[in-house]
Chain A
Amino acid sequence: MIGHRNQKNTRLDLILLALIFSALAYLGYRVTMQLQYTWHWSVIPQYLFRYDEQQQRWVANYLVLGLLTTLRLSIYAGIPALLIGLCMALARTSNSLFLQMTGRTYIELLRNLPPLVIIFLVYFFLADQLTPLLGLDELVMHISPQAAHMLAVFVAPPASLSAFLSAVLTMAVFEGAYIAEILRGGIEAVAGGQWEAAHALGLTRGQTLRHIILPQTFRQVLPPLAGQFISLIKDSSIVSVISIQELTYQGTQLMASTYMTIEVWLVVALLYFLLTFPCSLLLGRLEQSYAEKPF
């Protein structure tokens, strides 16, 4: 089908390409020649990985550690966000007025506040009330060294656990609102006849959702849901304001220590791209396999 499109480059394309390249070259010239900046690219690799003399092996240094924290943050926030989103979307489309109101209030409240403001509110007000309630600090203080090591590898170092959890919570809650809207759109897009047919067959509401509605919904919403997940990875950079040591924060720290502004941000941008681009490819493939499969 795609083969019908004209794939040949015209002369206009070539001219445009040449123009774009010369503009880029000019920009590159400006940056290298006119910007008063001394480049120190050779120092960057040691901030990705370094050779540890005590352990006699290569270990990740803080840009890579930051990347791993970003990854953990995205995964741990993504799963509850999907669950919250699903619950709220179901509440929003349910027959009970109370549930509809709850769902709508949640979605409207969180979608209409900037994430940065929510993060500050949670970090400075709510987290202080929640952590003593859960007794987290006490718990973390008394765990064994092995458990502490496991915690550091899979979640966060015990010392920064409560900050990490408040970041995860905030991200899950506000991404949940966007996911809820996406899912609600998907549920409402399923033809009304499907509900009626299920009802006629004697299925309960739960059965209808599980076997009829949600499978169709997920096929519908996969592209926007995938986009939302990728934007969750990128949005995780805003928790750097509450000093979570993820990639962006490590970038600011490294820049403040070494004064290598441009190199650091270029490397940070590259690392984010390395994280999100494979996700895009993977989700593209998933979409394709869904599209090929019949209902």
Chain B
Amino acid sequence: MSVVTNNSNEKQRKGVTMCNRIFFYIFFILFSLTATSGLFCAPFVQAGGLQQKIAAESVIEQIIHRGTLRVGMDIFVPWAMKNKKGELIGLEIDVARRLAEDMGVKVQFVPTRWSGIIPALIADKFDVIIGGMSVTPKRNLKINFTRPYYYSSQGLLANIKMTRGFTLKDFNRPGVTLAARLGSTAALAAKKNFPLAKLRLFDDEPSAVQEVRNGRVHAMVGSQPLPAQMAADNPGLLKAYPEQLLKEPICFGVRKGDVDALNFFNNWIEIQHSRGWVRQRYAYWFESTAWKKEM
């Protein structure tokens, strides 16, 4: 008798745990579904409201109201870099400081990884990208760009030992490996100019330069004047090619749907152009090496 009851008890218990397990799976799936759908829907729901909000108050208004201009940038020598005191210096830093001064607000730099800088702008982590960003159609589909304030070009920095007797054409061969920074125009220039070569991408430029020094890649593509300055610092090891690979306009990046901000930034750029201020700062950072004392 007792054996039988024990047995049926066990069966019952098994039934209960089975039931629990099924309940758990249903619970788990339902929970995950609500959580993810919430995540995905939230931005879309917000987007409708956001557009109206932007139309009503432009980012310019927000900057004035807040009293600070938030600028998204990343470290690129000599566009933006840290000096001995840990302060930011560079061409883009000068531009952003001047812009904030002219607007009568304080400037706040938001250092952001270059590969994630466009999503961060869209997610409102800062107001504007002033970081030597060049316009590409792909980027322009995601964000708006102002008119250019200067032009940049890409250069090739090669390991002398590995590329003896190479002309620019020789780099476009299978078996040649190139390096560039992930998400940068340099990567695009490398693909465009040397489609046959193998391209390796790095999160920052020093890693790419180090690969060239170590001879693990033949050359790297980077924005001028970096290749020229690196070659000057390492004669006998590195060589820069004088050819300009991809000349591109450099602009501020702003979120879409904000006409007022575009208008303001465009006119500010136009004013600085006509005063020759941008040209003068460009000469200081790109054509002289006087700033190296500060490093």
Candidates A109, A141, A252, A261; contact of B32 at CB < 8 Å? A109
Instruction: Point out the residues of chain A lying under 8 angstroms from B75, CB to CB.
Output: 253, 256-257
How far apart are the CA atoms of A163 and B66 in the complex, in Å? Answer: 17
Name the segment of B163-171, B208-216, B259-267 touching the other chain.
B208-216
User: A108-B28, A121-B39 are known contacts. Are A61 and B86 too (CB-CB below 8 A)?
Assistant: yes
Contacts of B76 in A (CB 8 A): 256
Given the interface contacts A101-B24, A243-B110, A256-B204, does A159 sit within 8 Å of B68 by beta carbon? yes
A-side interface residues, number (CB < 8 Å): 42
Within 8 A of A (CB), among B54-106: 66-68, 70, 74-77, 81-82, 84-86
B207 neighbours in A (Cβ, 8 Å): 261
Among A37, A105, A249, point to the contact of B31 (Cβ < 8 A): A105
Q: How far is the CB of B61 from chain A (nearest CB, A)?
A: 15
Of A38, A129, A256, A261, most buried by chain B (CB within 10 Å of CB) is A256
> Which chain A residue has the least Cβ–Cβ distance from B112?
A243
B206 pairs with A261, CB closer than 8 A: yes
Query: In chain B between 106 and 133, which residues have their CB closer than 8 angstroms to a CB of chain A?
Result: 108, 110-113, 116, 119-120, 123-125
Q: Whole-angstrom distance between the alpha carbons of A50 and B84 in the complex?
A: 8
B210 touching A37 by the CB < 8 A rule?
A: yes
In the complex where A243-B112, A256-B206 touch, is A101 in contact with B23 (Cβ < 8 A)? yes
Interface of chain A, helix or strand or loop or mixed?
A: helix
Q: Does B237 contact A (CB under 8 A)?
A: yes
Map CB proximity to A onto B221-246 as digits: 1 under 8 Å, 0 otherwise.
00000000000001001000000000
What is the CB-to-nearest-CB distance from A117 to chain B, in angstroms, rounded to a whole number?
12
**Interface presence of A36 (CB below 8 A):** yes
Contact with A252, one of B84, B124, B204 (Cβ below 8 angstroms): B204
- C-alpha spacing A61/B86, complex, angstroms: 6
**Is residue B27 within 8 Å, beta carbon to beta carbon, of the partner chain?**
yes
Chain B: minimal CB distance from A119 (Å):
11
CB distance from B158 to the nearest CB of A (A): 13
Which chain A residues border B68 with CB–CB below 8 Å? 159
CB contacts (< 8 Å) of A125 on chain B: these are 39, 42-43
Q: Beyond the given A38-B234, A65-B86, A125-B39, could you list 13 further A-B residue pairs with CB under 8 A, ordered by the A residue number?
A: A35-B214, A36-B214, A97-B20, A104-B28, A126-B39, A160-B110, A243-B111, A245-B111, A252-B203, A256-B75, A256-B206, A258-B295, A259-B206
Task: Report A's interface with B, CB cutoff 8 A.
Answer: 35-38, 46-47, 50, 52, 61-62, 65, 97, 101, 104-105, 108-109, 121, 123-126, 128-129, 141, 159-160, 163, 241, 243, 245, 249, 252-261
Can you list 6 A-B pairs, Cβ within 8 angstroms, ordered by A?
A50-B86, A125-B42, A126-B39, A128-B46, A256-B74, A257-B75
